[in-house]
Amino acid sequence: MNPSRKLTIQIILLVLIIGFSTSCAKTEENELSIIYGLTLAPSGIDPHINASAELGIPLSSVYDTLVFQDPDNGTFVPGLAESWTISSDGLVYTFKLREDVKFHDGTAFNAKAVEANLQYILNPDHVSQKAIMMLGPMEGVEIIDEYSIAIQLKEPFAPLLDSLAQVYLGMASPSALEEWGPEEYQFHQVGTGPYRFVEYIPNDRLTLEKNDDYAWAPSIYHHDIAQIDTITFQFYEDPATRGLALESGEVDILGEVPPLDAKRLAESEEFRLYPVPIPGQPLQFFFNTLKPPTDDPLMRQALIQSLDREFIVDTIFGPFSPVAEGPLSASTIGFSPDYTYPEFNVDQAQQTLDALGWDLDDSTGLRSRDGKRFQLLIVVPPWGSNPDVGQLIRAAWENLGAEVSLEVAPGFGPLKQVQDAGNYHAIGINFFGTDPDLLRSFFASTGFYNWSGFKDSNLDALLTSGVRSSLDSDLRQTYYDQVFKIIRDQAIILPIRDYVNLVVARSNIQGLRFSSQGWFPFLIDLSLVQ
């Protein structure tokens, strides 16, 4: 080959390579991406089947729901359903669906798609952990026409709209559900939301990309289409690593930051702190009302009164969490502010134990009655600073003259095993949610999570009436006021603190907002200031 011709070809190739590299660099530079830290690696992330709050942080932007709940005032607004009506008896909810929606795989959204999702959840072979319970007494569905569908109930169910507004009842592509099934769908999720699901590698990462075709944003979003191109979710299960990950630039947004780290980071101009109240149940402990000595309500009241709950909250959570005053956090619909718990009074607690016949041995500092030592066993889950709280409770009850053992269950399974055996006096468990009906599972005599063992027909009737008063919010509140009073007067639980999710984000991230559930960010509203 002619040397000059060879040189010319080399120059042309070099120019093409440089031009191609510059183009790629420009594309990558123009694409906006962030890293969002998750604090729990769920065992599964199919929202129809699995139950963790953590899965909703990314997936509430992959799925749209029939209705959305406005986080500012709690009202329900149109989503994939542009309107709905409720029959006068509260048994039929009829939804008129949008006609312009496509799933990420191109499948049309219509009444058949809604029916397919509900059938997928209700299929007993799929073993739904949460979504199926959120449908309550659903009896069936009726497709009225291509874009109209009715959900039929056996009895009124007040939380239905609340349930339909959550990711666990988000609408998935029926084509994808059929293709992948309950075993594999979690790795191939397809919704209609502002972000598309790209990949999920357990214990490593989950990646979303914006949906450029999104054209049906609900009114609660501030943007009509996502501003961030790619969001990668990574896991930071160890609380001690979260502040360091933010400071090193490894992650841009991270929740459940320990209070001391959150306070320190908030003092820097590089970060902004978002304290997000979480509705539902507080950090709490259920007394075992079937096992002595906590089978006596006076004993339970003394144990509560012996605790300086304000000191516990301030010591472990700093100024970010309010002291809990009932079975619901103050940010939850149905919370009754009129029924607060007794103030800290260790002298009164000691007097109650004296009156109950628990004699104090001055030489040992321990109490006994009828030859039996005053012994208590506390069992705590590993999350939410429960072990730290348990240590302070242990110290306070030892100060009363009790021999106190503290056990940390390594996960929900072991915690449930302890509960099944019934060998505990106080055990920690709580769920989150925006509707007060979540109390039914914990306090109804036949409730799945009735870990106190307390049974009361009046309380059962009130909880049932609360869920059936679907069209009268004021009437519902009167029922839950009475529920609160019984739970407090019978000292069934020891409430500690209302959950507040301490989210820290880099200061160049704008528009970080959260849903009514508190955990789930509106990713569509995020933007970056360069």
Q: Is the predicted pLDDT of residue 227 greater than 50, yes or no? A: yes
Question: Is the pLDDT reported for residue 1 higher than 80?
Answer: no
Instruction: Assign 155 to helix, strand or coil.
Output: coil
Domain 38-277+502-528 adopts which CATH fold? D-Maltodextrin-Binding Protein; domain 2 (3.40.190)
**The pLDDT of residue 17 is above 80:** no
Tokens, residue 384:
């939410």
- Virtual torsion, Cα 70, 76, 77, 79, nearest 10 deg: 100
Three-class DSSP category at 380:
strand
Look at residue 26 and tell me whether its pLDDT is greater than 70: no
Q: Over the stretch 477-506, which tens digit does the pLDDT of each residue have?
A: 999 999 999 999 999 999 999 999 999 999
Among candidate residues 357, 337, 377, the one with its CA nearest the CA of residue 488: 337
User: Domain 283-498 - what CATH class?
Assistant: alpha beta
Per-residue model confidence (pLDDT) at position 160: 96
Residue 64 pLDDT more than 70? yes
Per-residue pLDDT reduced to its tens digit, 472-482 = 888 999 999 99
Global confidence as pTM: 0.87
* DSSP string computed for 266-294: HTSTTEEEEEEE--B--EEEEE-TTSTTT
363-368: list long-range contacts, CB under 8 Å, 24+ apart. Answer: 365/401, 366/401, 366/402, 366/403, 367/400, 367/401, 367/402
* Residue carrying structure tokens 């798609």: 113
β-bridge pairing 33-38 and 253-254 = parallel
Q: What percent of the chain has pLDDT over 70?
A: 94
The domain locations on the chain are 38-277+502-528, 283-498
pLDDT band with cut points at 50, 70 and 90 for residue 4: very low
Give the integer Cα–Cα distance in Å for 307 and 228: 47
| Res 12: pLDDT | 38
Among candidate residues 514, 511, 508, 513, the one with its CA nearest the CA of residue 528 = 508
Edge-to-edge strand list for the sheet holding 375-380: 403-408, 375-380, 426-428, 283-287, 493-497
Distances (CA, A) of 55 to 16, 50, 233, 402: 44, 8, 11, 41
Q: Looking at residue 51, what is its pLDDT?
A: 87
Backbone φ and ψ of 209, nearest 5°: -125, 150
pLDDT of 15 reads 36
Which pLDDT score, from 0 to 100, does residue 339 have?
A: 85
Give the per-residue pLDDT at 153: 97
Mean per-residue pLDDT for 64-88? Answer: 96
Question: 402-411 pLDDT, tens per residue?
Answer: 999 999 999 8
Dihedral, CA of residue 95, residue 96, residue 102 and residue 105, to nearest 10:
30
d(CA 479, CA 351): 34
Tell me the residue type at 255: G
What's the pLDDT score for residue 150? Answer: 98
How confident is the model at residue 28, as a pLDDT? 54
How many residues does the structure list for the chain?
530
Q: Is 62 exposed, middle or buried (0-12, 13-18, 19+ CB in 10 A)?
A: buried
E strand or H helix that includes residue 265: helix 259-266
Do residues 433 and 517 lie in contact, with contact meaning Cβ atoms separated by under 8 Å? yes
